[in-house]
Amino acid sequence: MQIREYSLPQGWFPRNPDDISGEISGYLKGFACPAADSLACLAPHAGWYYCGRLMALSCASLKKDVRTIAVIGGHLPANYPALFAMEDAARTPFGILPIDKELRYQLMNKIDSLSCGCAEDRYKDNTIEVLLPMVHYFFPEADLLWLRLPASLDAYEAGKLLSKTAKKLGKLIAVIGSTDLTHYGSNYGFSPHGSGEKALHWVRDNNDACFIKAVESGSPEEVLLCAEKDSSSCSAGAVLGAMGFAAAEGLNSAKLLEYTTSADVDKGRPPDSFVGYASMSFGG
């Protein structure tokens, strides 16, 4: 059996199952958890210290009886193919998380007909791996589909193909689209509104708010335009894939569950550089 091992160093997420269970219980305590009735959501992908609660809210919004969880990652520009993990399973602190090879094979054949095509994911990337311990916790009996999509409208079509393929196979699946929002400050070479509170307010109330509104509109073109024009999503392909899947499933309403930034976690004066995070769920 080929296993996809950890690539992220210690610190991104707990490595002990008991610590993970404790962390997730803490994230959800005192918060109004969404009803577990959706088949698609968006979640951030930074270290759990910054956005673990938002990841947990997204996972908690999904139906618990799904057979496969498709985690769609990004960090891919428009000219990249769709990337699949070709191993048999991925490692998490809870053990081995099987990869749905039947769904992967059928979906790869369909995505190969799109202009982006598909290939093996040979890269180290956080957009999927950081979510896997939480996926394994919430869905201990489900398989995994590991897929990263490029920032193009092909990603939206790939999401629709995912829904069609799962239905043909008679599988109930859910999708998590993995993205962070605006990366602001000198660390990221993006500081159009200076620094401090003014910059933080602009990111929170304008740039990220516009991207969230685009997702809520259901328009893949608007989402892609916002991501490209405003640098408001680092993984637009993941968002588009989740949106395409949701649309094919008749989930036409996107709801913001919670929004925060890394500056909100690091209390005090806004740092020079920070990142926006959103948890969203798709409903009927």
How far does CA 221 lie from the centroid of its chain?
A: 19
Q: What token pair was written down for 204?
A: 């929170």
- CATH number of the domain to which 87 belongs: 3.40.830.10
Q: Is residue 29 part of a domain?
A: no
Q: Is residue 169 part of a domain?
A: yes
Q: Is residue 17 part of a domain?
A: no
Count how many domains the chain has: 1
**Residue 143: phi, psi to the nearest 5?**
-90, 175
Q: Which segments of the chain does DSSP mark as H helices, in order?
A: 17-28, 48-60, 101-111, 126-129, 132-138, 153-169, 196-202, 208-217, 220-230, 236-248, 262-265
**Whether the model pTM is above 0.95:** yes
The mean pLDDT value of the chain amounts to 95
Domain extent at residue 144: 34-283
pLDDT tens for each residue of 132-176: 999 999 999 999 999 999 999 999 999 999 999 999 999 999 999
Q: What is the pLDDT of residue 252?
A: 86
pLDDT tens for each residue of 111-134: 999 999 999 999 999 999 999 999
Q: Is residue 20 part of a domain?
A: no
Distances (CA, A) of 30 to 24, 25, 43, 44: 12, 10, 20, 21
Q: Is residue 16 part of a domain?
A: no
